[in-house]
Amino acid sequence: MVLKINRKILRKWLRNKKEQVEWILKTYPAARNSDTILLFYYWWHFEEAIRPYLREFPPLSVLKKLTPFETLSRWRRRIQAKGKYLPTDNTVILKRKQLAKFFAEEMVKDEGENSEI
């Protein structure tokens, strides 16, 4: 079941992707077990550009049969890590570098918060 929530209010309330993903995981337990389901819930609630193409939310039984997003993403990363079929768009290259730096910094923060004093 998909909640009917005012998306504008939701996007104002949840200011970044971390908060948005946490909300989905809290609200939709099925998303905890499948990145594919998580992805669809994220698209449904937070990605306006895709809404015209999604007339209704697919049944979970269908989503569970799809190739998981993380499998495709992992394979793309592995192939590109070997220097094959690298991104051609400089914006994508820069964005991936920025994301890698951001996540590295977040990992350091998380380790610092979880360490015992």
Gyration radius of the chain over CA positions: 17
Do residue 37 and residue 23 come from a single domain? yes
Residues 56 and 80 grouped into a single domain: no
> Residue-wise pLDDT tens for the chain (117 aa)?
666 677 778 877 888 888 889 899 999 898 888 888 889 888 888 888 887 788 787 888 888 887 777 887 888 889 888 988 888 888 988 998 899 899 899 888 877 776 655
Last-in-domain residue among 48, 63, 78: 63
d(CA 67, CA 83): 24
* Same structural domain, 35 and 59: yes
How many domains, the chain?
A: 2
- 13-37 residues labelled b (16+ CB within 10 A) or e (exposed): ebeeeeebbebbeeebeebeebebb
Q: Are residues 54 and 11 in the same domain?
A: yes
Q: Are residues 14 and 50 in the same domain?
A: yes
Residues 58 and 102 in one domain: no
Task: Tell me, yes or no, whether 21 and 56 share the same domain.
Answer: yes
The phi, psi pair for 40, rounded to 5°, reads: -65, -40
In a domain, 1, yes or no: no
Range of the domain at 11: 7-63
